[in-house]
Amino acid sequence: MLRDAKLILLLAIGTLTVMAGAVIAPNLPNLVADFQLDPEIAGILVGTHLITVALSVPFFGILADRFGALTVLIPSLIAYTIFGAVGAIVPGFRSLLALRALLGISTGGLTASSMGLLGKFYHGEARQQVLAYASGALAIANICYPLLAGLLGSIDWRWAFCLYGLAIPFALVSPKLLNQSGPPGSPDSHTHASLGTDGQPQTAQSVPLLTLITDRQIFPILLAMLVTCGTIYVTFIYVPIYMRDVLEATTASIGAVLATTALGSGLIAAFGVRRLTQTFGSLTTIIVAYGLMAAMLVAFSCVTTLPLMFLVAIVFGLAFGTIMPSLYGHLSERTPTEFQATILSMGTGLGFLGQFLSPIVLAPIVAHYGVVSAFTTAALFALGTGSFTAWLLSQTVTSPQINRRFSTALKRNNDDR
């Protein structure tokens, strides 16, 4: 499967979502110095794109379902390069902040279209494995892009913005590789759209957006993605603070621990999730993964030595790398093919929203009870989300039931008109 050129290209395009934040984060101190910014205000630059991605990605998913994913993907890749690279020559903070917001919108476009193509090209077990590969690629990107950005930034922070130019080669080869027929054995050509009450195929436009989001088999998984991503983001915010204050760790040690988390996530997502689900079943696998994640969140606040911190970090990464591909797989299974781009992109967008909201929700708790309370609170969220998700996934849903739900929604919409 990893020899499939379409898959390699889509995985590479997907990693650009990581680059959006990875380029600026290692170079933030230099930006603060050059623009003479207050560090608290400058921190907004790192997270600005998260909220615009979250807001824009569902609508790009609808456009991709209606007009074709390539129609959205190519302009998004070009816009990504423009809004990203121009940041190297902006004169001040406000201009860069505006570009970061626009970069988030273009990231939403490429995220929605690439996820939609993955959902349409691959079906069944192949889709589950592909989504696991996608999670693994993102985890590896979380290691590689910050290193590249830091290396270029050591020359001058503006050079790091040249990395956004990687989107241009992807835009050039995409029209040739990403045609609408899938790879052998799992293409779209043999799938059938669910039919509406008039016998015509439904599209994301024929069913109201609110109906798609609030469907009883889809909304709970979307909610689980939001909370899970917000819970996971706690480690990137508070583990460095804890290590600095308690372990007196260096910047290099903190970076190595975070990279270990990403490495564990990438390895299990790419090579372990499928075996785990085949051996123990999807339900058992996801319950154990959520339990491990909660336990490691508590462990982060108890560790007093650096070697133990690395051990906790890699186990946490293994749990994270198991959960997210599983959630994407179940979300995809509950979504008819013609809604794939819309629904999968909503999941991604809500994941970004969860990351954005995480420090906002936890800030007052940390202010009153200290950094350790962030880990405890996140562990409780993980246990609650895991229990809720396990109950949801225990409810069997068949393909005819899925199509019937959306046909009923279309009929209701037509009657209202």
Residue with the bigger pLDDT between 374 and 210: it is 374
Whether 60 and 72 have beta carbons less than 8 Å apart is answered as yes
Weakest mean pLDDT among 2-16, 17-31, 273-287, 362-376: 17-31
Nearest to 320 by CA among 380, 260, 394, 280: 260
Whether 111 and 4 have beta carbons less than 8 Å apart is answered as no
User: In angstroms, rounded to a whole number, what is the distance separating the alpha carbons of residues 413 and 417?
Assistant: 7
User: In angstroms, rounded to a whole number, what is the distance separating the alpha carbons of residues 234 and 291?
Assistant: 16
What is 1-180's CATH superfamily? MFS general substrate transporter like domains (1.20.1250.20)
**DSSP label at residue 201:** B
Q: What pTM, to 2 d.p., does this model score?
A: 0.74
Give span(s): CATH 1.20.1250.20, the chain. 1-180, 203-412
Q: What residues pair up with 201 in beta bridges, in sequence order?
A: 195
Provide the CATH number for the domain formed by 203-412 in this structure: 1.20.1250.20
Whether 316 and 297 have beta carbons less than 8 Å apart is answered as yes
User: In angstroms, rounded to a whole number, what is the distance separating the alpha carbons of residues 130 and 329?
Assistant: 9
Kindly calculate the radius of gyration of the chain based on its CA atoms and give it in whole angstroms.
21
Q: What is the mean pLDDT of the chain?
A: 81
Residue 17, both tokens: 């979502």
Whether 286 and 390 have beta carbons less than 8 Å apart is answered as yes
User: In angstroms, rounded to a whole number, what is the distance separating the alpha carbons of residues 101 and 107?
Assistant: 10
Q: What residues pair up with 195 in beta bridges, in sequence order?
A: 201
pLDDT at 198: 45
Task: Please report, as a single letter, which amino acid is at residue 161.
Answer: F
| Residue carrying the six token digits 């990464």 | 317
Residue 155, both tokens: 């020359």
User: In angstroms, rounded to a whole number, what is the distance separating the alpha carbons of residues 222 and 67?
Assistant: 24
Residue-wise pLDDT tens digits, 151-199: 888 888 899 899 999 999 999 999 988 875 544 444 444 344 444 444 4
Whether 286 and 322 have beta carbons less than 8 Å apart is answered as yes
Weakest mean pLDDT among 35-49, 94-108, 262-276, 355-369: 35-49
Residue-wise pLDDT tens digits, 61-117: 888 888 888 999 999 999 999 999 999 998 888 899 999 999 999 999 998 898 888
